[in-house]
Amino acid sequence: MGVPALEVLGISKDFGRIIALRGVSFSVQSGEFVSILGRNGAGKTTLLNIISGVSRPSEGEVKLFGTDPSDRENKAKLAVISHEMFLYGNLTAIENLEYYSRIYNVPNPKQRIETVLNDVELTHRRFDLVATYSRGMTQRLTIARALLHEPSLLLLDEPFTGLDQHAIGMLITLLKKQKEMGRTILLTTHDLHTANELSDRYIVISKHKIVMDGLMTDTNPDAIREKFFSAEAGGIDS
Ligand SMILES: Nc1ncnc2c1ncn2[C@@H]1O[C@H](COP(=O)(O)OP(=O)(O)OP(=O)(O)O)[C@@H](O)[C@H]1O
Ligand SMILES: [Mg+2]
């Protein structure tokens, strides 16, 4: 095995008096698909923000492909899909994607833009301002924008939110394709069956720590739900 795609080394994060993460460590090999599971407030988004370099840990460090997340080369290797859309409402879909193609130096941008728009089924709305899109359409364009530069590591924070059943199927197919291409993927979701369908491995965070880290084939989603998401266990990890 070569250098891991991702190493999370003893990460803790506090927001003033609020504890978000405590001593979280794991590593992910290239090509692995890992689902991060946990109740509301468990620390999943905080973890992805630290991995992508948006937020700094209070303690510990992260390595992407063996180096610091802030390394210029890592920016080109990474894609983030989160609640932040990173899209300009006053530009059309095409204009947004042209802008990101320039930032990421995407080769053959015209062709690549056509491909990603087709992948998320937005070709027919490509000349419309993003401000006029529905929520699900905006989410689809966010996915197209993230995949545009063919990143090696994808960080997906609840990417199914706001998508209809058809679009959920479309994203699942896209993610399976990404996996076949050898991309490394970290996904947070509350949909344990989708996590099971897509991932090789799952990590459960509870009360700011990793409480389970195992292979999907060795478990079943209902057992995880029963243990960590049941009504008796409470709804929020604060
Ligand atoms: N900017 C912030 N300022 C203060 N507290 C924060 C901030 N961001 C997160 N927190 C706190 O850190 C904890 C973890 O939050 P986080 O958003 O990482 O949870 P999550 O697992 O993503 O939850 P959800 O499933 O609801 O998305 C929570 O207690 C939250 O209130
Ligand atoms: Mg979250």
What percent of the chain has pLDDT above 70?
97
pLDDT of residue 76: 87
pTM: 0.93
β pairing state of 201-206 and 153-157: unpaired
Q: 110 or 230: whose pLDDT is higher?
A: 110
Task: Check whether 85 has a pLDDT greater than 90.
Answer: no
The span from the CA of 117 to the CA of 56, in Å, is 33
User: Sorting pLDDT into bands at 50, 70 and 90, what band is 236?
Assistant: confident
Q: What angle do CA 159, 164, 166 make, to 5 degrees?
A: 100
Specify the ligand 1 atom closest to the Cα of 13.
Answer: 12
* Count of the separate structural domains present in the chain: 1
Does residue 235 have a pLDDT over 80?
Answer: no
Q: Residue 177: which CATH number?
A: 3.40.50.300
Strand partners, 134: none
Does residue 238 belong to any structural domain of this protein? Answer: no
- Alpha carbon of 117 to ligand 1 centroid (Å): 32
CB under 8 Å to 131, separation ≥6 — which residues?
A: 89, 90
Tell me: the pLDDT tens digits for 183-204?
999 999 998 889 999 999 999 9
Question: Left, alpha or beta for 109 (phi > 0: left; psi -120 to 50: alpha)?
Answer: alpha
Question: What is the whole-number distance in angstroms between the Cα of residue 115 and the centre of ligand 2?
Answer: 30
Residue nearest atom 5 of ligand 1, based on CA coordinates: 15
Q: Are 35 and 230 in contact (CB under 8 A)?
A: no
- Predicted pLDDT at 1: 67
**According to the model, what pLDDT value does residue 57 have?**
96
In a domain, 19, yes or no: yes
pLDDT at 70 exceeding the cut of 90: no
Residue-level pLDDT at 234: 64
Ligand 1: residue of 12, 13, 14, 15 to mutate (most ligand atoms within 8 A of CB) is 15
Whether 229 has a pLDDT exceeding 90, the answer reads no
Helix, strand, or coil (residue 9): strand
Name the closest-CA residue to atom 9, ligand 1. Answer: 46
- On the question of pLDDT at 220 being above 80, the answer is no
Q: How far is CA 130 from CA 33, 90, 111, 140, 234, in A?
A: 31, 7, 20, 11, 39
Residue 205 is part of which domain span?
6-233
Residue 216 domain flag: yes
- Indicate whether 217 pLDDT > 90: no
SS3 (DSSP) at 102: helix
| Residue 1 within a domain | no
User: 228: which DSSP letter?
Assistant: I
Closest C-alpha residue for ligand 1 atom 17:
45
Identify the pLDDT of residue 105. 93
Close Cβ partners of 89 (under 8 Å, ≥ 6 residues apart): 129, 130, 131
Bridge-based pairing state of the strands 153-157 and 184-188: parallel
Q: Please check whether residue 170 is in contact with residue 121, taking contact to mean a CB–CB distance below 8 angstroms.
A: yes
The per-residue pLDDT for 226 is 77
Question: What pLDDT shows up at residue 74?
Answer: 86
Mean pLDDT value of segment 161-185: 94
Identify the residue with better confidence: 85 or 38: 38
List all residues whose CB is within 6 A of at least one atom of ligand 1. 15, 18, 20, 38, 40-46, 238
Name the band, by pLDDT with cuts 50, 70 and 90, for residue 231.
low
User: 139 in a domain, yes or no?
Assistant: yes
Kindly indicate the confidence band of residue 233, based on its pLDDT and cuts at 50, 70 and 90: low
Of the residues 8, 18, 157, 189, which should be mutated to test ligand 1's pocket, given the most ligand atoms within 8 Å of the CB?
A: 18
What confidence score (pLDDT) does residue 66 get?
Answer: 93
| Domain-located, residue 20 | yes
Looking at residue 232, what is its pLDDT? 58
Q: What is the pLDDT of residues 128-139, one digit of tens each?
A: 999 999 999 999
Gap from CA of 48 to ligand 2 centroid (Å): 9
Sign of the torsion angle spanned by Cα atoms 174, 176, 179, 185: positive
